[in-house]
């Protein structure tokens, strides 16, 4: 067991593309860290560099305090679980799991004992004599994990280990991975493109974009206090709503009405180079049916009226989709996120609003409805830099903060 430190680690390919740029990351001993981002953000390359499967172009990688830049994978004492599982098809489950131990030249008895132990933890005991071809996807995945844990390495690296499983099994395996990591207390770096996995699994999440780290923090912090537009848009499902907002006479003109600004934001906007146009971000759950809001709460927000497009009842609450007039928010980050979600050319006129209202709401499709939203929870972003203007000392304070 050991800590992993990335010190200005970069990866530049021979053709000149920079896959990873100056990544600084300190992963504590026993910590479970998730690298997440859209495809091509450099998360897998980063993992491969930690593994030793890719060379590090510049910077330093330390595992357990030791510089390992030039060490071969086998000298780093870390185990990896691959997206494809990469089981040896010519070997049985037992042989697969014993393979790293046999290479380490342990004696037969110890090997058998360790394999049996790991098999028990992962409930693989009845499958030990089968070949990978005769296993289901979930079982193969468990064997791949077994091969990693059997030799008690300094750290685990997992490269999208659950993405080949069907949805139900994935949720199940998520808890297995989580429990296993807690039980073993081994430092783990986990790569995924799925923000739900990132939110539910890790102690800390590292969000990457274009080879650079955007923000590092516990999942809840990334959710509540996104440092920039990209993080805000990437984390959360359904994702944050973004609206165009124009700065006018100390308030914001938006499709949802005029949003008053507190002193803090106003001061930010007084600067000479401050943007005149902003992007307003609100999470779906910060909307509520205006009928269900009491007087006290009402004062902390704003109300608007819009036609209801679609109502999706989830039982516990309702997802209600509105169309609001007005300009769409546009920024490079948002386009990138839409492209990653496969919805770049999808959208239609006006801005779409996703809201999450209480199940008690009597909202119906086709009608027009008054909706309230919480001004303390909104975020304002600079479309040019993507910076979150409402963030103060790492804390998002909404538009009204003084």
Contacts with another protein by CB under 8 A lie at 51-53, 72-74, 78-80, 82-90, 99-100, 103-104, 131-135, 137, 140, 147, 151, 157, 164
Sheet with 155-159: strands ordered across: 78-81, 155-159, 187-192, 32-36, 204-209, 212-217
Beta carbon of residue 161, minimum distance to another protein (angstroms, whole number): 11
Taking the least distance from each CB to another protein, the nearer of 147 and 227 is 147
Longest Cα–Cα distance in the chain? 79
CB pairs under 8 A, 24+ apart, for 253-260? 254/280, 254/326, 255/324, 255/325, 255/326, 255/327, 255/350, 255/351, 256/280, 256/302, 256/304, 256/324, 256/373, 257/302, 257/303, 257/304, 259/302, 259/375, 259/378, 259/399, 260/375, 260/399, 260/400
Taking the least distance from each CB to another protein, the nearer of 165 and 324 is 165
Residue among 35, 390, 336, 305 at smallest CA distance from 197: 35
Distance CA 152, CA 33 (A): 18
Beta carbon of residue 80, minimum distance to another protein (angstroms, whole number): 4
Taking the least distance from each CB to another protein, the nearer of 149 and 337 is 149
Beta carbon of residue 108, minimum distance to another protein (angstroms, whole number): 17
Beta carbon of residue 191, minimum distance to another protein (angstroms, whole number): 14
Residue among 136, 64, 57 at smallest CA distance from 93: 136
Beta carbon of residue 109, minimum distance to another protein (angstroms, whole number): 19
Taking the least distance from each CB to another protein, the nearer of 180 and 351 is 180
The residues, any chain, with a CB within 8 Å of residue 212's CB and separated by 6 or more, are: 21, 22, 23, 42
Taking the least distance from each CB to another protein, the nearer of 39 and 368 is 39
Distance CA 243, CA 256 (A): 9
Taking the least distance from each CB to another protein, the nearer of 104 and 246 is 104
Identify each DSSP E strand in 92-222 by its residue range: 155-159, 187-192, 204-209, 212-217
Beta carbon of residue 110, minimum distance to another protein (angstroms, whole number): 15
Beta carbon of residue 164, minimum distance to another protein (angstroms, whole number): 4
Taking the least distance from each CB to another protein, the nearer of 90 and 316 is 90
């Amino acid at each position: 067991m050991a800590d992993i430190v990335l010190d200005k680690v970069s990866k530049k390919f021979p053709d000149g593309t920079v896959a990873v740029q100056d990544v600084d990351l300190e992963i504590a001993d026993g910590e479970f860290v998730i690298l997440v981002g859209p495809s091509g953000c450099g998360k897998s390359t980063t993992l491969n560099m930690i593994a030793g499967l890719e060379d590090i172009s510049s910077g330093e990688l330390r595992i357990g305090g030791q510089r390992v830049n030039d060490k071969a994978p086998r000298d780093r004492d870390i185990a990896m679980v691959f997206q494809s599982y990469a089981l040896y098809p010519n070997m049985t489950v037992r042989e697969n799991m014993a393979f790293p131990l046999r290479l380490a030249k342990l004696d037969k008895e110890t090997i058998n004992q360790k394999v049996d132990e790991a098999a028990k933890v992962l409930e693989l005991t009845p499958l030990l004599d089968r070949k990978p071809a005769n296993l289901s996807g979930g079982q193969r995945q468990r064997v791949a994990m077994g091969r990693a844990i059997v030799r008690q390495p300094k750290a685990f690296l997992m490269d999208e280990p659950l993405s080949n499983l069907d949805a139900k099994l994935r949720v199940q395996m998520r808890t297995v991975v989580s429990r296993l990591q807690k039980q073993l207390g081994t430092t783990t770096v986990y790569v995924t493109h799925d923000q739900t996995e990132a939110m539910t699994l890790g102690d800390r999440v590292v969000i990457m974009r274009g080879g650079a780290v955007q923000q590092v923090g516990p999942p809840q912090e990334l959710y509540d206090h996104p440092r920039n537009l990209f993080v805000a848009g990437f984390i959360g499902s359904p994702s944050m709503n973004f609206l165009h907002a124009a700065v006018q006479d100390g308030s914001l003109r938006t499709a949802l009405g005029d949003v008053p600004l507190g002193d803090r934001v106003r001061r930010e906007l007084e600067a000479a180079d401050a943007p005149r146009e902003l992007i307003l971000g609100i999470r779906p759950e910060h909307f509520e049916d205006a009928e269900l809001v009491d007087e006290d709460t009402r004062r902390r927000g704003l109300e608007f009226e819009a036609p209801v497009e679609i109502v999706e009842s989830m039982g516990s609450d309702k997802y209600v989709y509105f169309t609001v007039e007005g300009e769409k928010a546009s920024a490079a980050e948002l386009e990138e996120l839409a492209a990653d979600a496969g919805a770049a050319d999808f959208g239609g006129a006006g801005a779409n609003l996703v809201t999450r209202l209480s199940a008690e709401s009597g909202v119906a499709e086709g009608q027009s409805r008054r909706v309230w939203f919480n001004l303390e929870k909104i975020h304002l972003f600079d479309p040019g830099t993507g910076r979150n203007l409402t963030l103060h000392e790492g804390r998002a304070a909404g538009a009204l903060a003084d």
